[in-house]
Amino acid sequence: MPVVDEAAVGRIFREESGRSVAALIRVFGDIDVAEDAVQEAFAVALRTWPGGGLPPNPGGWITTTARRRAIDRLRREARERELLSKAAALALGTDDPGMPDEVGPVQDDRLRLIFTCCHPALSTEAQVALTLRLLGGLSTKEVARSFLVAEPTMAQRLVRAKHKIKAARIPYRVPEDHELPGRLRPVLAVVYLVYNAGLTSPAEQGLCPEAIRLARTLATLMPDEPEVAGLLALLLLTESRRPSRIRSDGSLLLLGEQDRSRWDRALIEEGQAIVRRCLRRNEPGVYQLQAAINAVHADAATFERTDWPQIVALYDQLLTLAPTPVVALNRAIAIGEVHGPAAALALVDELDLDTYHAFHATRADLLRRLGRNSEATAAYERAAALAPTDAERDFLRLGGRDAR
Amino acid sequence: MTKYMLSVHSVEGEARTPMTDEEMQQSHKQLGVLEHEMKSSGAWVFSGRLHGPDTATVVRMSGNEALTTDGPFVESREHLGGFYIIEAQDLDAALALASKVTEIIKAPIEVRPFADTSGA
């Protein structure tokens, strides 16, 4: 029997609590009841598993135990008659802690829950916080730390969001097909945001695998949505390079400077296989195209041997779907690799991105390559002043790759 | 079922592009159709359009006396212009109706649940 220590229970909590919370919300129609019961069930697990060993299906055990706890609590409080009758009906069903009776519909429960958490009637901040808390199993403290807000602030944000869900009756269901495009967008955006929070903050690296786990769940639950697959591929391909984009001192390495032998081949292959399936399907979207761009990078043995024309072509497509200055900036960088820095700079200078650090960093790099050094220095300074993280700031203060 | 208020707010001094007579008639007709729909589906509870804030009067207690003053209660540029009270299964159903109304009247709508509909 494997050793069950606190850390192991913690890992199982991260893996399983979202599933259990989602199942209990369906049953009891109340987020707080579900959350509290699942917490209690894990407290029991923490007491009994290290001595008695893991049950055959830890997730099922948690769900069943939590459900009993919730029933007990509702019985004790005996306040909402409707809930109680539901509880009674449930108590008559399977109630054997060893039974893996939560396999079928539970997956749908998590899907329902993410659509509730990411309902457009909630602010993006609330969407992210709820998703991490309810589906990711992060504690309020962990969610607060991830987004650099004080714990009481985050606790209040969660309470308010949950209250709105209850008071305004934000539904707990998967949207219908005709609603799906609009409703899927915030879901994907939240997962992407969670990943990026981990990527840009080394202290919160745990958010990256968390986001990938959420993306995998979505991809399993919605196999027919090409953008869901695209998001998963994008995250996998980005993740394959994550360890090689930071030096041991925490500073950043540009794509051209990274040790490509350190890229994770398994993640790349998985990501590229998804991209190929997306291409065959030919329903391009913004995540799929970004994934395809990353797949091209992952294919190149060296920076110089990157298929830049292909990357430009993908950016052209992306720009028609998402005509934003940030996409135009990235396209200009690719143009720079095909037609040289002067062509790129002409495009970059047309963009209205004066408050975006990457805009100035790109200009700085292009100016440096054109030998316009004093202008480059000024642009690096402007970029450093705007950089959102210390690693990026230090990197830009040193004048980008020039100084290495 | 939950009751929701769909409210339309007018912003003082901010003239929206005025509708032409035809547009006005058109929108009036569409609203009539929509209201009929709401009534036959049981969603409609009550609706009304208000005169401007310059017709408002506020009554408040001052000591033991009710004091009457001219003008709206909220000192802001936005004022409630009209509202629907509807009953809907959930927020999505309420938002679907609100979308129809906003499309017709071409003004934003606030959707807010009533506090006193405890599952009834």
Residue contact B119–A82, C-beta within 8 A: yes
B119 touches chain A (CB under 8 A): yes
CA A43 to chain centre: 27
Which chain B residue lies closest to A170 (C-alpha atoms)? B91
Inside any domain, residue B118: no
Q: Which two tokens stand for residue A251?
A: 């500073």
CA distances for A334 relative to A297, A309, A347, A368, angstroms: 11, 8, 11, 17
The CATH code for residues A6-103 is: 1.10.1740
Chain B residues in contact with A179 (beta carbon < 8 A): 92
Which site among A169, A172, A173, A179 would you substitute to test the B interface, given the most B Cβ atoms closer than 10 Å to its Cβ? A169
Least trusted range by pLDDT, from A303-307, A338-342, B22-26: B22-26
Q: What is the percent of chain A where pLDDT is above 90?
A: 60
Inside any domain, residue B119: no
Distance from CA of A164 to the nearest CA of B (A): 9
Task: Count how many domains chain B has.
Answer: 1
Tracing tokens 């004091």 back to the chain, one arrives at: B67
* DSSP string for A169-184: T---SPPPTTTHHHHH
Phi-psi region of A123 (alpha: psi -120 to 50; beta: other; left: phi over 0): beta
**Which pLDDT value is given to residue A52?**
85
Backbone angles phi, psi at A390, to 5 degrees: -60, -45
**Which pLDDT value is given to residue A80?**
58
Q: What are residue B79's DSSP bridge partners?
A: B10
Least trusted range by pLDDT, from A134-138, A157-161, A288-292: A134-138
Q: What are residue B87's DSSP bridge partners?
A: B3
Predicted confidence band at A84 (pLDDT cuts at 50, 70, 90)? low
- Domain span holding position B13: 2-49+77-113
B110 touches chain A (CB under 8 A): no
Asked if pLDDT for residue A287 goes beyond 90, the answer is: yes
ipTM score of the complex?
0.85
Of B91, B115, B119, Cβ closest to residue A121: B91
Q: At the topology level of CATH, where does A324-404 sit? A: 1.25.40
A82 touches chain B (CB under 8 A): yes
Q: Between A and B, how many CB-CB pairs are < 8 A?
A: 26
* DSSP string for A121-148: TS-HHHHHHHIIIIIS---HHHHHHHTT
Predicted confidence band at A85 (pLDDT cuts at 50, 70, 90)? low
Q: Which pTM does this prediction carry?
A: 0.81
Q: Which two tokens stand for residue A164?
A: 């709105």
Predicted confidence band at A97 (pLDDT cuts at 50, 70, 90)? very low
Which site among B90, B92, B114 would you substitute to test the A interface, given the most A Cβ atoms closer than 10 Å to its Cβ? B92
CA B11 to chain centre: 13
Of B92, B113, B119, Cβ closest to residue A167: B113
Q: CATH number, domain at B9?
A: 3.30.70.1060
The answer to whether A23 and A10 have CB atoms below 8 angstroms apart is no
Inside any domain, residue B36: yes
Predicted confidence band at A86 (pLDDT cuts at 50, 70, 90)? low
| A374: enclosing H helix or E strand | helix A373-386
Inside any domain, residue B54: no
- pLDDT values of chain B reduced to their tens digit, one per residue, 120 residues: 899 999 998 887 766 677 788 888 998 999 999 999 999 999 999 999 999 888 999 999 999 999 998 888 877 788 899 999 999 999 999 999 999 999 998 889 999 999 975 544
Domain boundaries defined on chain A: 6-103, 104-209, 224-312, 324-404
Inside any domain, residue B55: no
Inside any domain, residue B63: no
A176 touches chain B (CB under 8 A): no
